[in-house]
Amino acid sequence: MVRINKLAKDLGFKNSFLIEKCQEYGFVHIKHHANALTDEQAGLLRSKLVDRAAQSVSIKEKPDTSQVKKVSTEKKSSGPAKVVSKDAEASAVRRRIPLWKQKAREDLIKGRWKEITKVSQQKRPRRFEKRTKEAPKEVKVVAPKEKESKVTVELPATVKDVSAALGVKAGDIISKLLIGHGLCATINQGLDGEIVEMLGIEYGVEIELKQAKEDEDEFSLEEAVDKDEDLKERAPIVTFLGHVDHGKTSLLDSIRKTDIVSFEAGGITQHIGAYRVETKGKSVVFLDTPGHEAFTAMRARGANVTDLVVLVVAADDGVMPQTEEAINHARAANVPIVVALNKVDKPEANIMKVKQQLASLDLNPEDWGGKVQMIETSVVTKQGLDTLYDGLLLEAEILELKAVAKKPARGIVLEAHVHEGRGVIANLLVREGTLKHGDIVLCGQTYGRVRAIYNDHGKEIKEAGPSTPVAISGLSTCPEAGDKFYSIKDIQKAREIASKRERKIREVTLSGRQHVTLDNLYKKIEEGQVKEIKVILKADFKGSVEVIKKSLEEISTKEVRTRVLHSGVGGITETDILLADASDAVVIGFHVVPEDKAKTLAESCGVDVRLYKIIYDATNDIKAALEGMLEPDKIENTLGSVEVRKVFKVSKVGNIAGCYVKSGKILRSSLVRLIRDSVVLYDGKIATLRVVKDDAKEVRAGFECGIRIAGYDDIKVDDIIEPYEIQHIARTLK
């Protein structure tokens, strides 16, 4: 049975023409192109149409155009013409066949049936043939990208960017991230640099990470190399730290020779937080921070604001808990310390006792052979003020503090607030360059043009050089304390960078910053982020502090160690949490609990706080964490011996070794070595392990099996395949 549409396609006719012929030849049941003819009817119809057309062509090879026109005219006038002669029938056939098919019909009549059938199916339209032939060329253009050994990826990068750089499908990368790294990602999700580099290693491509152009422009000031001839000496920046009521503010007020209480009333500089003092042609900038909280917040943002720290200790009170905290803050910021022994005029002052306490904290005075200046001062009698000032200048000379003034300004934001009449007032400390009126300033997530500059005395100035504290107006919003500010030329670029920073901070806020905890410590170690455990220790008694601190230090080794950043007596305070947040440390409390505010702050910052009642519990947890940092021992265990007795070559698969297990066993998951003449030729994995036609997980001695080694086909008879496995044994500190 042959359908009309199939036969019409084979003969090159229209369905309507073939249905008309069927009616003419007596096949009255054919009324639709889906009707079918028997094989005999189809053969009869094919022979009649082909034979008659052939006879007409034999009479006259070229068609008579006049006759065709005549028949066409007759059709218009009298309806469909009946076939009365061979010429008329041939003309009727041509009349119903499109012009582009007439050549095919003539070739068909000449006997090239099979060829013309293929041509008729693919002939129209010709332009599609070119596209079909050219299509494979477009696919081949992408192929060389996969062979590149080194590519450059610009950060921040998404899965789509990495896919384009590596020449790998985005779906494959998403699957690899999910299976290999446990990361559920989308095609537009951003990836950090470590994940991007890891993907490059897994695909065998070296990836060079590159920051975006905006970031390069943003940090061009910081990365620029200054010329030696442009460097000029700058004033040191000094911060006063110490315990409450030890006289920090009074001492700073005496050095500045001002009265803060009367000076701040009604002035916009009452919160500037930094003051410049000039004596004998030398200048020193004093930074007045509101306690350790602001100091830590600035350092947590990577802003090393101060060059020197003055540790104020009352001679009548001695070293107090906040004094130790101040020392730890200064050491964590890696800045020199100058000790001011204040209130020496009081009868109960005991200078020798204070020096002994400081010496126990590794602050040895110069008169005892140490390196720390300890200057006796008194606000009442003005004793030692000039000596302290000279000591700070001496430390500054040793540090060789220099800066370039002839370049765009950059520095640190001390604090900011909103003034009713002037808008946003930002208190800045210029570290390098010169800040001028009208400059475009970018700091953190905000930007703006400098409309006014005020010095530390409240006077409006036109420009400010290095180591100069100023207050400016003109920013769009209040920046954060500790943000770095830059002076750039293009306000459009400043707007783009500020918007980008705002989006990035929003993403970080949503994802949350993850601190080191004893639970996630091992994961951090695998990522290469942790080399030591930083601890902040608080206990109920001084003796407990010393015992726990000594125990933690004793379990340290050359490979891993515990570093106690701060230890003290009393409850866990907000200062402890801030220090842990800035230093990424773990807080340990022994028979103490955190304050309400400290507990809330720890939860919001994600700081790990561990409370213990037994010393051994604390040391055991730290010991277990340290042992997890040790690299495990790797022991190789040979599983057996397998002999290759025959090699089967399978197309599109590779060589398969027909083997006999001589001893031991071989596992599907085991590693294997291929040995020939006692020489190891290849070390790799098993791709397939089968017994007859079934996959096997294990084959023991005395049985035969088929083995295909992954990525290796040079297998010969009498080779030895040695299966083995590597056991990872956890190490202990002992």
φ/ψ of residue 27, rounded to 5: -90, 75
Q: How far apart are CA 729 and CA 725, in angstroms?
A: 13
Helices within 97-169 (DSSP H only): 99-109, 113-122, 126-140, 159-166
Contact between 264 and 275 under an 8 Å Cβ cutoff? The reply is: no
Record the tokens describing residue 125, joined without a space.
């339209």
Sign of CA dihedral 238, 242, 248, 251: negative
**Does the annotation flag 716 for ligand binding?**
no
**Does the annotation flag 289 for ligand binding?**
yes
Record the tokens describing residue 84, joined without a space.
């009365």
Contact between 595 and 602 under an 8 Å Cβ cutoff? The reply is: no
**Does the annotation flag 125 for ligand binding?**
no
**Does the annotation flag 288 for ligand binding?**
yes
Helices within 590-677 (DSSP H only): 596-605, 615-629
**Distances 361 to 102, 324, 326, 427 between C-alpha atoms, Å:** 107, 8, 12, 35
**Does the annotation flag 342 for ligand binding?**
yes
3-state secondary structure 174-220: HHHHHHHHCCCCCCCCEECHHHHHHHHHHCCCEEEEEECHHHHHHCH
Helices within 292-426 (DSSP H only): 292-300, 321-333, 351-360, 385-399
Contact between 375 and 394 under an 8 Å Cβ cutoff? The reply is: no
**Does the annotation flag 243 for ligand binding?**
yes
**Does the annotation flag 584 for ligand binding?**
no
**Does the annotation flag 182 for ligand binding?**
no
3-state secondary structure of 103: helix
Cβ contacts of 683 within 8 Å, gap of 6 or more: 671, 672, 673, 674
Q: How far apart are CA 544 and CA 569, in angstroms?
A: 9
Record the tokens describing residue 662, joined without a space.
């001589």
Residue 677: burial class (beta carbons within 10 Å; 0-12, 13-18, 19+): exposed
**Does the annotation flag 261 for ligand binding?**
no
> 94: how many CB neighbours lie within 10 A of its CB?
20
Determine the Cα angle at 222 with ends 220 and 224, to 5°. 65
Q: How far apart are CA 287 and CA 300, in angstroms?
A: 17
Cis peptide before 466 (omega within 30 of 0): no
According to DSSP, the β-strands at 698-700 and 640-650 are unpaired
Return the closest-CA partner of residue 298 out of 496, 404, 473, 431: 431
**Does the annotation flag 621 for ligand binding?**
no
**Does the annotation flag 291 for ligand binding?**
yes
β-sheet with 586-590: strand ranges across: 562-569, 533-539, 586-590, 609-612
**Does the annotation flag 248 for ligand binding?**
yes
Record the tokens describing residue 208, joined without a space.
């060079």
Q: How far apart are CA 200 and CA 209, in angstroms?
A: 11
Sign of CA dihedral 347, 352, 354, 355: positive
**Does the annotation flag 468 for ligand binding?**
no
Q: How far apart are CA 38 and CA 29, in angstroms?
A: 12
Residue 170 identity = A
**Does the annotation flag 188 for ligand binding?**
no
3-state secondary structure of 708: strand
Q: How far apart are CA 252 and CA 261, in angstroms?
A: 13
**Does the annotation flag 292 for ligand binding?**
yes
Annotated binding site for GTP: 242-249, 288-292, 342-345
Residue ranges for the known binding site are 242-249, 288-292, 342-345
